[in-house]
Amino acid sequence: MNIPWRLVLAHTKRRWLRSTLTIVSVFMTILIFGILRSFIVGIETSVAEASSTRLVSASALSLFAHLPKRLEGEIAQLPGVEAVTHWTWFGGVYIDSSPDHLWGRFGVDVPSMRKVYGPDLILDDEVWKRFEENRTSCIIGADLAKDEKLKLGDRVKIVGNLFPGTVDVEIVGIYQSKVRSFDQKTMFMHWDYMNELSKSAGGRQDIVSTFTMLLKDPGQAGGLAKSIDTNYASSSNRTLTQTEKMFQAQFASMWGNLPLFFSILGGIVIVACLMVTANTMMLNARERVQEVGILKTLGFTPGSVSTMALVEGLLLCLVGGALAMAVVRSFDGKMMMFTILTVPWRTIAEGLAIAAGLGLLSGFIPALLTHKLTILDAIRRRA
Amino acid sequence: MPVPLRYNLRSLFYRKGATFFTLIAVALTVAVLAILLAVGRGFEQSMSLSGRDDNLMVLRASASSEGESVLSREDVNTLSGLSQIARNAAGEALFAAELYAGLALERTTGGSTNVPIRGVSARSFEIRDQIKIVEGQMFRPGSREVVIGKNLKDRIQGCRLGGVVKVSNENWQVVGILDAGDTAFDTEIWGDGELLVQIFDRTFYNSFIFRAAPGTDPGLTPEKSPTKVATGLVKYISDRLGAVKILSEKTYFVDQAGFLGGTLSAAAIFLTVLMSFGALAGLFNTFLAAVSGRTREIGALLAIGYRPMHVFLGFLAEAVLLALLGGLLGILIALPFNGIKTGTTNWGTFTEQAFSFRVDQSVITSAIILALLVGLIGGVFPALRAARLKPVDTLRRG
């Protein structure tokens, strides 16, 4: 079947305003789809790329409660544990308490952090060393540096609330992350330093938020998690130990129905767009009834005439879809609502497939009508 | 004389296909806006109604929410001696030192969340007099019992009358369900403060709340309206126990709404702007095609004496009418969402926040305004084109 491409192009150009508007509608729709999808994929990826060979222990009460630091020694003694490190959520206020300045800041133990999380991060040995040696230093993620316009050597002051006292630390390193489960919008400082500050201000001391264990044999994760939790089951520090993957999944599930809700809205948006593209194709078909008659008289088969209608719709939608996905792709890796927007090729393919689907569906009825139209009817009828 | 509206109305039914597609496109756009606004409204409503103006909360100056505030027992002792605290009929001072934390519990639909748990004291209920126990009874002080907000019921595992929630390694019995009039308290679990402070292994409370006594010493009390807390009181307390802030309970909850509320309204604006473009394009295309398809009709109208202005208004009215019909349909699509309960994490406090979709008057007004705008903007250019046609040209053609 031969498709007269020049005719298809001429058609789209003839009603250029209509074609442009249709392309822009598809563009907006696929843009909405792409952004919503990259958000949901981002949440999923943060779980998927999390390690299942590291274990995280937190208080079984909730992330609001702490564990005593002294458990570190006990956990390190357990067979199968290669290394233990700990993170403590500092909270506090940087500049003001607006959402813009609400990012994670943790107190950590540098040498063990390097052992357990080092492989996930891009950070020079020298920087690790500088971080370790300077008690009032910190490292921050590359996104954080960008968003807060911070650079090496700058000092960061955070007024404590959970832990009293104001931390004042120098940025000695800016890390990048190799995995999407480790965001680039966090600050790490010395736990010793924040603990001392809190202690001298009469606040809480010697507590941590979570312990992370690196295992000798990943196969033992399940057994080890169980033995840690049984150890502390009857104490006042009941623990909940999970793989890092499960730990991340808990944050993902905190969104509740929101991702589903946005998916449903995304679906409605696509249907609305179908109405717009279908309308365009129907209007086109209606105006071209006589032309169809002429084309058929000239010897174009019914098949190629209706394929033209299909191809035209497909073309408009694919142009809009491709432009939108190009924009969406540029969002890859950006943070939105605590989530790293993630745009794999799969999402791009989905966006293009939806655009193609819009094109085919909207061209379908016009193509069918065109196919059935006899020459006589077509030429007799007035546009 | 204006073109009879009946002409435009009947024209809408002439091109059934185009009218239908455009109608649905506008309806879906309006529906998405209405649904998004309904979520935002429901959430904001639950927060803005939560507190009273004359209940004052004392928090650490650097704390942006209750969970981040730390008040020692001595602090609480000092605060309880304030002369600005109102008293009830029995002469008891209306204040409460409270614990606020998250309790990791499972949603019934799967996945875990941090449900806010409030450790309360004897006067907590009296201070929030809008809260009522609607099922079961109050927990007994000193016992491992809790009452839960009605929005938790059946959404969180164990949250029903006679159910059990796990607090550390103990099972606490759910003995009552409270109704706080669709406010933030309806997502909270309330239990004995003293016990919970021990369980959370703490030596401190999070917040201190008291009912302001009317007309106390002007230097220390809020002037006139209790929401405007005089700096005197803040200074008086800060001098004794370090920097604090005092805000009305109502202001506190409105502030807390900002984080999630802001996200939701940003999402609503973003989606609506992008989507409206589709609806606009649909309307625009439909009417441009209508004008060119009805060229001869328009010529005839102008020839028999209708003014271009009337033709313009007629077409504009037709577009607005179609958009408004779409808008009404959109509102009908959004209406069944009214009252549906949902919950997500308010990342400002890190805790679960349940609320209902609210398709109220303000949501419906916004939806109609959007439909009107789409109709006006989408219709104005085609209508102009129609009005500019020359009768002679149009009648000669075809």
Structure tokens given for A369: 């009508």
Q: What DSSP state is assigned to residue B184?
A: G
Dihedral sign (CA B8, B9, B14, B18): positive
Question: Are A155 and A282 in a shared domain?
Answer: no
**pLDDT of chain B along its 398 residues, tens only?**
778 888 888 888 888 888 999 999 999 999 999 999 999 888 888 888 888 888 999 999 888 899 999 999 999 999 999 888 999 999 999 999 999 999 999 999 888 899 999 999 989 999 998 999 999 999 999 999 999 999 999 899 999 999 999 987 789 999 999 999 888 999 999 999 999 998 887 888 999 999 988 866 555 555 445 555 667 788 888 888 888 888 889 889 888 887 788 888 888 888 889 889 889 999 999 999 888 888 888 888 888 888 999 999 999 999 999 999 999 999 999 999 999 988 888 887 889 988 899 999 999 999 999 999 999 999 999 999 999 988 887 777 54
Q: Report the amino acid identity of residue B105.
A: L
User: Chain B: nearest CA to A215, how far in angstroms?
Assistant: 26
Assess whether A260 and A221 both reside in one domain.
Answer: no
Indicate if A77 and A139 belong to the same structural domain. Answer: yes
Residue A382 pLDDT greater than 60, yes or no: no
- A172, part of any domain: yes
Instruction: State whether A36 and A65 are in the same domain.
Output: no
Together in a domain, A12 and A66: no
Is residue A25 in some structural domain? yes
Final residue before a domain boundary, out of A176, A208, A237:
A237
DSSP assignment of B89-137, as one string?
TT--B-EEEEEEEEEEEEBTTSSEEEEEEEEE-TTHHHHSTT-EEEEE-
Which residue from A277, A266, A267 is spatially nearest to A359, judged by alpha carbons? A277
For helices B308-334 and B249-293, the axis angle rounded to 10 degrees is 130
CB contact under 8 A, A261 and B62: no
Question: To probe the interface with B, which of A15, A18, A19, A25 has the most B CB atoms within 10 Å?
Answer: A25
Compute CA A128 distance to the chain's CA centroid, rounded to the nearest angstrom: 28
Q: Mark whether A79 and A113 lie in a shared domain.
A: yes
Q: A268: nearest CA in chain B? A: B28
Cβ–Cβ of B167/A61 closer than 8 Å? yes
Which among A28, A92, A234 has the least Cβ separation from residue B278? Answer: A28
**Domain end position, chosen among A176, A206, A237:** A237
Q: HSE of B150 in the Cβ direction (CA atoms, 13 Å)?
A: 15
Instruction: Report if residue A189 sits inside a domain.
Output: yes
Mean pLDDT of A95-122: 93
Res B200: pLDDT:
84
Identify whether A267 is part of a domain.
yes
pLDDT for the residue numbered B46: 86
| Tokens found for residue B68 | 């981040």
Is A85 in the same domain as A214? yes
pLDDT on residue B170: 86
> Chain B residues with CB inside 8 Å of A91's CB?
68
Question: What pLDDT score does B220 carry?
Answer: 54
Q: Do A260 and A132 fall within a single domain?
A: no
Is the residue at A245 inside a domain? Answer: no
User: Which among A173, A202, A237 is the end of a domain?
Assistant: A237
Helix-, strand-, coil-residue percentages of chain B, each rounded to 5: 50, 20, 30
User: Who contacts B233 (Cβ-Cβ below 8 Å, separation ≥6)?
Assistant: B84, B220, B221, B222, B246
> So what's the pLDDT on residue A339?
87
What's the helix, strand, coil split of chain A in %, to 5?
55, 20, 25
CA distance A137 to chain B (A): 22
Contacts with A64 from chain B: Cβ below 8 Å: 67, 101-103, 114, 200, 350
Considering the domain architecture, whether residues A217 and A77 belong to the same structural domain is answered as: yes
Supply the range of the domain harboring residue A96: 61-237
Coil/strand/helix, residue A205: coil
Residue B270's pLDDT is what?
A: 86
Taking the C-alpha atoms of residue A281 and residue A313, their distance in angstroms, rounded to an integer, is: 7
8 Å CB contact of A250 and B64: no
* pLDDT one-digit tens code per residue, A120-146: 999 999 999 999 999 999 999 999 999
d(CA A371, CA A64): 67
What's the half-sphere exposure (Cβ side, CA atoms, 13 Å) at B319?
32
A16 located within any domain = yes
Q: How many domains does chain A have?
A: 2
Contacts of B335 (CB under 8 A, 6+ apart): B359
Residue B360 vs residue A365, higher pLDDT: B360
Would you list the DSSP string of A247-303? HHHHHHHTTTTHHHHHHHHHHHHHHHHHHHHHHHHHHHHHHTHHHHHHHHHHT--HH
Same domain, A139 and A273: no
Query: Does A248 map to a domain?
Result: no
**By the 8 A CB rule, do A183 and A175 touch?**
no
Q: How far apart are the first and last CA of chain A?
A: 27
A115 in any annotated domain = yes
A31 and A173 both lie in a single domain: no
pLDDT at B211: 92
Q: ipTM, 2 decimals?
A: 0.86
Q: Does B91 touch chain A (CB under 8 A)?
A: no
Residues A374 and A230 in one domain: no
**Residue A383 binned pLDDT confidence (cut-offs 50, 70, 90):** very low
**Mean model confidence pLDDT for chain A:** 92
Residue-level pLDDT at A23: 95
